[in-house]
Structure 1
Amino acid sequence: MSDPLAHFPQLTLRIADKLHDRLKASAQANHQSLEAEVIARLEGSFTTQPQESLAEGHQALLDKLHRLEDLAEEASHSADA
């Protein structure tokens, strides 16, 4: 029987002991292997938005919220008149 993972390239990586310990602890907390933890973190780094894009999106949402509040207040005043 052949190894189902044999077609995946291997990567040898040297990292500081402290980072290795943090990865191991995180893998244990997430109930997965160290390899799975590293892969999940690497894949996540390609799918998350850059911090600037998040900040811009956050500001756009706040602007819309303030506009909705203004419209609600205007509607409330119109209903009272």
Structure 2
Amino acid sequence: MNRPLLPIGVFDSGVGGLTVLHECLISLPAEDFVYLGDSGHFPYGTKSAGELRDRAQLIAGALIERGVKMLVIACNSATAA
């Protein structure tokens, strides 16, 4: 598999990560991106660290299955867990 042709995955608990995606698009205009906003489980701020780790692992796994070459976790709550 040719990694340069694979997209970069970006995820957040909702739509706030779209600002991060926007900066990625500006900084890396030749790259393709896949964005996943986990709005079905929003807000993350009320979840335990264990729940957040489980969600992050599930989402990361889904994006990896989709064939991303890199993950950008645009969610403060998920990165703190």
What is the TM-score with the length of structure 1 in the denominator?
Answer: 0.27
Task: Tell me which protein shows more strand as a share of its residues.
Answer: 2
What is the TM-score with the length of structure 2 in the denominator?
Answer: 0.27
Structure number with larger C-alpha Rg = 1
Higher RCO, 1 or 2 (CA under 8 Å, sep at least 6)?
2
Task: Tell me which protein shows more helix as a share of its residues.
Answer: 1
